[in-house]
Each structure stands twice: as structure tokens, then as C-alpha cells.
Amino acid sequence: MQPLYFLPLTSVWLSKPDIKDMNMTHQFQASISINAPKQSAWQLLADYGGVEKYAEGVLNSYLTTERDSGIGCTRHCELPKIMMMNQYIVEEIIDWIDGESFTYAVTDTNSPIKDGKVRWWVTGDDQQSKVNVDVSYQPKGFMGALMKPVLKRVFPKQIDEALHDIKSYLEQMS
């Protein structure tokens, strides 16, 4: 039986991390159908510095480069506190197909992840759209390994909430 660890200021108990699993990449995909044109969905996602307008899980976001879209564009996102600590993530676009998709890499964060990459893409027509997301990351350090079970549960939930935020925003605008 592996010993359990308690995360202070929470009610979370975690088992001892498996060190050989620390460098394993975790991936998941999600999508949502929206009663709004593809072009509207793309325009919302392409407003790279304005993610806080529709994503409740982002408290504030702003561009950190002069360019506002395309490869090399970066943004800083302030996230809700975890265990009384401010959370942030800095993301840089590494692939961009205008009107279709973009991929960003996590370049800095105080979250226990590394090598994070997220691809967003939109399909659809003049009446309906589908927003898709593909996420990959690795736990970072001992804390990442320790929190791996929580991360595997929480990240998909956060992405699902973001997709529903996008859907609500776009359908209210239509």
C-alpha cells in the first residue's frame, strides 16, 4: 500500500507519485457544437488577448507582444487562486491557420505542468459551428507528479467549462 499525502489547506489526499510516470505526456480532446456561424466562433477564439471576455476561468488576460494574432503572439492569463496562491499562465502561438485553427505552447506558468500544448480549431458553416480542442501536457516536478490524479481530473473539467462558456457567449450574441 502506498502512503498517502495530504495537501495542506485542502481536503485532498494523494498517493505517493510514481516517479517513472513523471515524464509521461497526458492528452485529451473535447469539442462542443454551437448554434452560431463558424466565422463568429473563429473571431472569438482569434481575439487572443481577450479570452477573459468569455472564459469565466480566466480572471484577466492581455497580449504581451505587439502583434495580436499569428505565430509568435503571446498572452498572459491570470487564473483563480489555488491554495491562496495567485495562478498564471503565459502562452505563445506556435501554429496559426487563419480562419481555421491555432496551437499555443505554455511558455511560463506556476502550475505544476510543463510542455503544455493546446490546439483549438473550428469547423462548421454559416449557421452552426463546432469548437474543438486538443490538450497535451506533462506533470512538472515532484508537485506535478503528486498532483497528477487531480490534474487528470481537473484539466478536462476546466476545458469543458471553457467550451460551455464559448457556447453561451456566442449563442447569446447570435
Q: What is the mean pLDDT of residues 2-23?
A: 47
Count Cβ neighbours within 10 Å for each residue of 27-52 and write b for 16 or more, e otherwise.
eeeeebebebbbebbbebbbebbbbe
Question: What CATH number did the domain enclosing 108 receive?
Answer: 3.30.530.20
Res 3 pLDDT > 90: no
What residue type is assigned to position 62 of the chain? Y
For residue 49, what is its C-alpha cell?
488577448
Percent of all residues in the chain with a pLDDT value above 70, rounded to a whole number? 87
Residue 13 has pLDDT above 70, yes or no: no
Average pLDDT of the segment spanning 20-24: 60
Mean pLDDT rounded to a whole number for the chain: 88
Q: Which residue has the higher pLDDT, 100 or 142?
A: 100
**Based on the structure, what is the number of domains in the chain?**
1
Q: What's the predicted TM-score (pTM) here?
A: 0.84
pLDDT of residue 73: 97
Query: Domain range for residue 160?
Result: 4-173
The residue ranking higher by pLDDT, 27 or 12, is 27
Cell numbers describing residue 105 = 505552447
